[in-house]
Amino acid sequence: MGVSLAALPRLLWPLAVANLVANIGIVVSGGAVRLTGSGLGCPTWPRCTDGSYVPHGELGIHGAIEFGNRMLTFVLAAIAIACWLAALVASRRADSDRRPLMLSTVIALGVPSQALIGGVTVLTDLNPWIVSFHLLVSMAIIGVCVVLLDELRGPARPAASPGVRRLGWVVLAAGWVVLYVGTVVTGSGPHAGDLDSPRTGLDPLQVSQLHADAVFLFVGLTVGLVLTAPAAARRAALLLLAVQLLQGTIGFVQHATDLPVVLVAFHLLGAALISAAMTWALLSLLPRATSTRGGAIEMATAP
């Protein structure tokens, strides 16, 4: 049974949640492609091979994994388009806030942009710097998904003090440094792709040490945020700290056990959760004038 346009705004909240979940899922799916050495399982783009859009038997399991990841992009696109349509219909009310529509537009445009960047990674034989950029764009889209959810259902809140807000921005910046250096670590080590995939040429141990140093700074700043944030924002800061500690534990164990693929995959999932959590931690410090921003919000959260 189809959904009428009038009913779409009521689906805005669950579609926004689905956007976040799907974008985290595509990060894990893309990581599986890299961790299994399947980045060139489909050796060209947009076709899988020069003569076919789908893999054939000669490409083996790697072709199936890479093609499966490409197909998930269509699922991601369908969710993003549905969310955008819901936000568009909701925004047509005279008293509605248009920010959900703008955020939904950014998310929807991120899907084809990521498909193009993914194509470039294939056409450049998995250049590690482009692969790194590909992952970071996904992390940014995850952050935008969190902002959208905050717009739709975030409670009314006062601004934290200017000093605490500045600390929140520093925490976010430190988190992005950690995410970026983490992609460089992967691009320098054994999980950059198959044996023939190019690496960054950097010493994996030295880059890993730089990553660890950035993590210590990130965690230390977050502890400071937990201690100074107002009570209403402390839960978000504590969640970020909990995700950091779990992510750090996984990182330590995977380094001590020679980077098993399963742990690296969980570490990648943790990176996506870090992006979401640090975005929420910052948003919790910023002001909100009202908890129901016009018709779009009321319709999105109505039972």
Residue-level pLDDT at 301? 45
Measure the CA–CA gap between 112 and 206, rounded to whole angstroms: 35
Enter the pTM of the model: 0.84
Residue-level pLDDT at 243? 96
Residue-level pLDDT at 303? 39
Residue-level pLDDT at 91? 86
Helix (H), strand (E), coil (C) string for 41-69: CCCCCCCCECCECCCCHHHHHHHHHHHHH
Residue-level pLDDT at 47? 73
Measure the CA–CA gap between 224 and 247, rounded to whole angstroms: 19
Measure the CA–CA gap between 220 and 23, rounded to whole angstroms: 28
Measure the CA–CA gap between 250 and 266, rounded to whole angstroms: 8
Helix (H), strand (E), coil (C) string for the chain: CCCCHHHHHHHHHHHHHHHHHHHHHHHHHHHHHHHCCCCCCCCCCCCCECCECCCCHHHHHHHHHHHHHHHHHHHHHHHHHHHHHHHHHHHCCCCCCCHHHHHHHHHHHHHHHHHHHHHHHHHCCCCHHHHHHHHHHHHHHHHHHHHHHHHHHCCCECCCCHHHHHHHHHHHHHHHHHHHHHHHHHHHCCCCCCCCCCCCCCCHHHHHHHHHHHHHHHHHHHHHHHHHCCHHHHHHHHHHHHHHHHHHHHHHHHHHCCCCHHHHHHHHHHHHHHHHHHHHHHHCCCCECCCCCHHHHHHHHCC
Distance between first and last Cα of the chain: 20
Of 73, 146, 84, give the one whose Cα is nearest residue 113. Answer: 73
Residue-level pLDDT at 32? 76
Is residue 20 a contact partner of residue 152, using CB atoms and an 8 Å limit?
no
Instruction: Count CB atoms within 10 A of the CB of residue 243.
Output: 20
For the chain, the domains span 1-156+289-303, 158-287
Strand-pairing partners, residue 49, are 52
Digit-by-digit pLDDT tens for the chain (303 residues) are 455 556 667 889 999 999 999 999 999 888 777 767 666 667 777 777 777 777 766 666 777 777 777 788 889 999 999 999 999 998 887 566 788 999 999 999 999 998 899 888 878 877 888 888 989 999 999 999 999 999 888 667 788 999 999 999 999 999 999 999 988 887 776 655 555 566 676 777 888 889 899 999 999 999 999 999 999 899 999 999 999 999 989 888 877 787 777 888 888 899 999 999 999 999 999 987 554 444 444 444 443
Of 25, 265, 263, 39, give the one whose Cα is nearest residue 131. Answer: 39
Of 81, 19, 101, give the one whose Cα is nearest residue 296. Answer: 101
